[in-house]
């Protein structure tokens, strides 16, 4: 059997499983109503597929197993966390910087605008969004610049939702969302004017191979802008306390292996990109840190409108959610495995805040990289 046969079988299996798990008309449901509508047997299977490699081990063999199974494992992760993300965070699945006094959703949108600006996205550009989630950033960036965006995602449930929200927003002619693996892109070479990725390529088992795919589909002279999740240069893999934080982030965020910043930079250069911008936006000394919503520290809350979001993301709010989910699961209302998901998300929150406070981790390593023009590539 060829790789293409294997890919198309996996794709079909995932699409069928997604229908079974989330049910018909799933795109219009979110949060708790989506959780309660799940097929109970399929949910149990999805949770165990996601968690099967997370056995507490961090040796080479354990890492290898997680790296090999990246596609199924991430697909399963997003099958079980998407409803919680939407309930707790909204429809853009990323972190952002905050100005004093700026509300949560304004700050999130600004972070997306900044990436569009850094990539030089212009009216009429054809842009690829690598790992597009449910399309929050694609909608915002298309509105901001009047560009056309194709969102690439390996999760069927999120693609269905992204299409549903785009239509609801009247953006169906500007946006399209397609199923695919960013490690094996099927677009024609040199298709896109610009490519961006927001907190998605950290799910790649190998950054260089992923960036190579991006390089291939970019037009010569085109730019790629990314908010990369990386461990900073202060991270020491041999330090147990550091490795524990990285493992919490990997487990709770469905990431096979967190790489260091130098690995990402080198990977871009090895592909032939010219790195134009290379800046950790988390290291700019902001008064309000990017991880504040997960801290439960009220002093950071910016506006009255943020109180609801802040409560859901805070330690107390998360405790309330996980207790409710666990009670609903015990009484057979929520599907089995749901409380394992809230427990994993709790590990994510703890690891992310610790990584942020100690400057061991950043979710906003901004790279802007340019593919040279054809004549420059040859010389
Ligand atoms: C996984 C990657 C690469 C990026 C996602 C970044 C963030 C959007 C998520 C990381 C941890 C998530 C948690 C929640 C929402 C989305 C994140 C912040 C919750 C607040 C959702 C509601 C749950 O009850 C608690 C979650 C904690 C972790
Ligand atoms: C944290 S979410 C970010 C989503 C989006 N960029 C946003 O900011 O809202 C990561 C996304 O990457 C997608 N993803 C992970 N691995 C992928 C792969 N191998 N191929 C395509 N998409 C992938 C996930 O399904 C998810 O949509």
Pocket test for ligand 1, best of 32, 35, 84, 289 (most atoms within 8 A of CB): 84
CA distance 69 to 48: 13
Taking the CA atoms of residue 155, residue 191, residue 262 and residue 293 in that order, the dihedral angle to the nearest 10 degrees is -40
pLDDT in tens, the chain (379 residues): 677 778 888 899 999 999 999 988 889 998 888 988 999 999 999 999 999 888 777 888 888 999 998 999 999 999 999 999 999 999 999 999 999 989 999 999 999 999 999 999 999 999 999 999 999 999 999 999 999 999 999 999 999 999 999 999 999 999 999 999 999 999 999 999 999 999 999 999 999 999 999 999 999 999 999 999 999 999 999 999 999 999 999 999 999 999 999 999 999 999 999 999 999 999 999 999 999 999 988 888 888 888 999 999 999 999 999 999 999 999 989 889 999 999 999 999 999 999 999 999 999 999 999 999 987 765 5
CA distance 253 to 202: 10
Closest residue CA from atom 24 of ligand 2? 131
Pocket (CB within 6 angstroms of ligand 1): 84-85, 87-89, 93-95, 199, 202, 229, 253, 312-313, 318, 321, 342, 345, 348-349
CA distance 151 to 359: 31
Q: Which atom of ligand 2 is nearest to the CA of 254?
A: 15
Q: How far is the CA of 152 from the centre of ligand 2 (A)?
A: 8
Spatial CA neighbour of 141 closest among 109, 168, 170 = 109
Q: How far is the CA of 158 from the centre of ligand 2 (A)?
A: 9
Q: How far is the CA of 60 from the centre of ligand 1 (A)?
A: 27
Domain positions in the chain are 1-379
Pocket (CB within 6 angstroms of ligand 2): 71, 74, 78, 92-94, 131-133, 136-137, 152-155, 158, 181-183, 198-200, 203
Q: How far is the CA of 81 from the centre of ligand 1 (A)?
A: 8
Q: How far is the CA of 252 from the centre of ligand 2 (A)?
A: 15
Q: Which two tokens stand for residue 237?
A: 């893999």
- The per-residue pLDDT for 56 is 79
Query: Do 92 and 137 touch, CB atoms closer than 8 A?
Result: yes
Looking at CATH, the fold of the domain delimited by 1-379 is given as Rossmann fold (3.40.50)
CA distance 116 to 140: 10
Q: Which atom of ligand 1 is nearest to the CA of 313?
A: 20
Ligand nearest to the CA of 104: 1
- The per-residue pLDDT for 58 is 82
- Report the sign of the C-alpha dihedral through residues 293, 296, 297, 298, in that order: positive
CA distance 139 to 278: 26
């Amino acid at each position: 059997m060829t790789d293409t046969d294997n890919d198309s079988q996996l794709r079909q299996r995932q699409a069928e499983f997604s229908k079974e798990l989330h049910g018909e008309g799933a795109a219009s449901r979110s949060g708790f109503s989506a959780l309660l509508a799940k097929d109970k047997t399929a949910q149990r299977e999805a949770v165990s597929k996601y968690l099967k490699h997370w056995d507490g081990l961090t040796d080479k063999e354990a890492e290898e197993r997680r790296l090999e199974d990246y596609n199924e494992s991430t697909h399963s992760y997003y099958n079980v966390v998407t409803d919680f993300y939407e309930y707790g965070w909204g429809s853009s699945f990323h972190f952002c910087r905050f100005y004093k006094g700026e509300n949560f959703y304004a700050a999130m949108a600004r972070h997306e605008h900044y990436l569009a600006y850094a990539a030089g996205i212009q009216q009429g550009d054809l842009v690829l969004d690598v790992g597009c989630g449910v399309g929050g950033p694609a909608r915002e960036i298309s509105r901001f610049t009047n560009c056309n965006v194709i969102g690439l995602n390996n999760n069927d449930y999120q693609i269905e939702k992204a299409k549903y929200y785009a239509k609801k927003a009247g953006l169906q002619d500007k946006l399209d969302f397609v199923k695919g693996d960013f490690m094996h892109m099927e677009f024609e070479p040199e298709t896109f004017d610009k490519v961006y990725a927001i907190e998605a390529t950290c799910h790649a088992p190998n950054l260089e191979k992923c960036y190579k795919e991006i390089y291939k589909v970019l037009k010569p002279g085109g730019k790629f802008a990314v908010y990369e999740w990386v461990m900073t240069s202060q991270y020491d893999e041999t330090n147990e306390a550091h490795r524990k934080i990285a493992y919490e982030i990997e487990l709770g965020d469905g990431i096979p292996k967190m790489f260091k910043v130098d690995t990402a930079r080198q990977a871009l250069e090895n592909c032939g990109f010219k790195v134009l911008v290379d800046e950790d936006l988390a290291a700019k000394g902001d008064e309000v840190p990017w991880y504040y919503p997960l801290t439960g520290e009220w002093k950071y809350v910016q506006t009255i409108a943020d109180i609801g979001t802040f409560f859901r993301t805070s330690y107390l709010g998360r405790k309330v959610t996980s207790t409710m989910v666990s009670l609903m699961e015990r009484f057979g209302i929520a599907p089995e495995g749901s409380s394992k998901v809230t427990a994993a998300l709790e590990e994510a929150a703890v690891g992310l805040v610790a990584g942020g406070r100690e400057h061991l981790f950043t979710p906003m390593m901004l790279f802007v990289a340019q593919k040279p023009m054809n004549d420059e590539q040859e010389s």
